[in-house]
Structure 1
């Protein structure tokens, strides 16, 4: 199929949404589809976007900035994208997370809308409701069952027969290369290396990681990721000498860090902010880093949140701890530090589950609708 993927945010960027979109486009290409990505102007410099993300396929990336016009800017960009898609030739499917460009593209091809949270703004919710009423919208894809349930609960159209199908498909990860170097990390060569990969804004549990480092002086703690602003904030705070901030790394350069860690942390809190430190997505979060941890066979200690239990099982593929119970986190790290065989077993189970259920390539097959029975398209 010829597919266009519509993304409202920047490519390239330091944010996880860019990684998600690029991994999906790469997987669409792996599946034999002709994919073109439409995205916003990048907030991070990169001479080669595909090399920055570590893509296997060099699919076209079309960049459209949003004019700085209140309210109208998004619509102007959306209609420019529609015009460009029409000029490029016939399309079999329009897929994406860009609410405005998806609505503007009605009538060009069947639509699939992917969403990772309930839209917070009244204007966005109104646009979304219009999108849900289009006959050409085939599917609504969510990243967790909790989010799918909330959409069905709050949007009657999604509960009715004949409305778009709601499909919950979690985030995923690519299998890493079989061989490769481990990162040379600062710190003590013989110390337990505890890793965290991801952003540093509120709700990610960075204060838990720093407190753990204070209570476990025999281990070294390595945090990979974060914007310049967030790094400056955490580096300015008092911390023990066994904490190392490595800053943002291009996605293509993360494999050596994962290989170097003995165990990894996902200390999400009861409230989890989105990019920029705003909002709360703790009920619906599907962290890509969890799946990347699993792909590398890492031993995971994660917060015991209902949404994470959609993927994680305590004592099977991870250890789970109450989000803000420092004593429980400390005990979990101490236990695993002295139990290398258990660490290996937990990591091996996680990797097997990733290979079986949570690769991007498998996700592509699950999100694509059956177009053979497509109803009439929206008016264009």
Structure 2
């Protein structure tokens, strides 16, 4: 099997999508698929002269091809969306030229997460696969192209239902949530040892959050965590919250909020770290939190990498009972609370503080349940479907 994975993305990137795309290509290659990852030569000053394979710490088992595409960054100062639309159009033109001269292109399956590339790709091949992580705003416009896809891979059953509602055949759609690398996140360290290595206080009750602080500029639950923390420290003044993985502007934003709420001394906000180090931070925590607020994206489309990483960590999880979350988590492997509810979140955290046996039971079940959600299993399932 030959596969062209086409993504209009900056590679490498600190964003989770970059890791997910690169990991998928790596595992496809391990399954003897000849993979080429096609992306534009977009300006990427943060990673100038950085080898993507070195950054993601993956062997060069597949080809990475960056095709020239003019990057009109001067348009960023114009109204929101202007740069994104023009950059996408310029990439489509570059991709058109590339595919016109691509040798043996009929031998390849075209695979993409970018729905706006479907009209072009379907001109060149009947074997176009779309991996859907959400539905575009103009979903009715794209319905025709979704129906023309050879296969569709989606993260949630909710997204599959919506595509069927648009007229896509159910037989074309595979539900395949995201995954985790157990070799990294399944490690087991003594909590005190992990805290010593990270210079974290031994005596604190530590609950953590991992990953980017916002998606599409939407809060991912940290605001509710800080308000819950305000409640918790009234009873447990040695409780502490640590968030790892934020962009500089978001770190400052939540530091300011923590100061306003009065929990600055009980909270810490850190930038992105390597996956190996993130796993150690998880081992240092007593509880892992992912209280996503209710939005359409969080409720129906997402399959967050942090969920599977938290499940593998051996630490109890508190999450909101959104439909997408409940496709993986349940009351036997986590504490589920209603979204947008700092009081309920505080109660859930206190419940686990006061009942360590419950936390151990939930964490143990999550560790067992996550074994089915590996990258190898995901790719094998997709290959069999193709």
For residues 66 and 197 of structure 1, the distance between their equivalents in structure 2, rounded to whole angstroms, comes to 33
Q: Deviations over 1:311-366 (max 9, x none)?
A: 1111x1110111222222112212212333322221121111111x2111111122
Deviates more, 1:68-77 or 1:213-222: 68-77
**Residues 1:60 and 2:63 are matched in the alignment:** yes
Q: Is 2:209–2:244's contact at 8 Å kept on the other side of the alignment? A: yes
5+ residue gaps, structure 2: 73-84
Which residue number in structure 2 is paired with residue 118 of structure 1?
A: 135
3-state SS, counterpart of residue 363 of structure 1: helix
- Give the structure with the larger helix fraction: 2
5+ residue gaps, structure 1: 273-279, 372-380
Which residue number in structure 2 is paired with residue 358 of structure 1?
A: 373
Which residue number in structure 1 is paired with residue 150 of structure 2?
A: 138
Structure 2 counterparts to residues 251-290 of structure 1, below 5 A: 251=275, 253-271=277-295, 280-290=297-307
Taking structure 1 as reference, are residues 288 and 193 closer, same or farther at Cα in structure 2, changes over 3 Å only? Answer: same
Which residue number in structure 1 is paired with residue 254 of structure 2?
A: 234
3-state SS, counterpart of residue 269 of structure 1: coil
Deviates more, 1:199-208 or 1:45-54: 45-54
Which residue number in structure 2 is paired with residue 331 of structure 1?
A: 347
Taking structure 1 as reference, are residues 194 and 65 closer, same or farther at Cα in structure 2, changes over 3 Å only? Answer: farther
Taking structure 1 as reference, are residues 261 and 55 closer, same or farther at Cα in structure 2, changes over 3 Å only? Answer: farther
Higher relative contact order (CA 8 A, sep 6+): 1
3-state SS, counterpart of residue 5 of structure 1: strand
| TM-score of the superposed pair, with normalisation by structure 1 | 0.83
Deviates more, 1:207-216 or 1:262-271: 207-216
For residues 88 and 229 of structure 1, the distance between their equivalents in structure 2, rounded to whole angstroms, comes to 46
Structure 2 counterparts to residues 1-380 of structure 1, below 5 A: 1-40=1-40, 41=42, 43=44, 44-45=46-47, 47-55=50-58, 58-64=61-67, 66-67=69-70, 68=72, 70=86, 72-83=89-100, 86-87=102-103, 91-106=107-122, 107-108=124-125, 110-120=127-137, 122=138, 126=141, 128-134=142-148, 137-153=149-165, 155-156=166-167, 158-159=168-169, 165-177=172-184, 178=187, 182=194, 184-201=197-214, 202-216=218-232, 217-237=237-257, 238=259, 239-251=263-275, 253-271=277-295, 280-314=297-331, 316-355=332-371, 357-368=372-383
User: How large is the Cα RMSD of the aligned pairs?
Assistant: 2.7
Taking structure 1 as reference, are residues 94 and 117 closer, same or farther at Cα in structure 2, changes over 3 Å only? Answer: same
TM superposition shift of 1:54: 3.4
3-state SS, counterpart of residue 135 of structure 2: coil
| TM-score of the superposed pair, with normalisation by structure 2 | 0.82
TM superposition shift of 1:205: 0.8
Taking structure 1 as reference, are residues 72 and 330 closer, same or farther at Cα in structure 2, changes over 3 Å only? Answer: closer
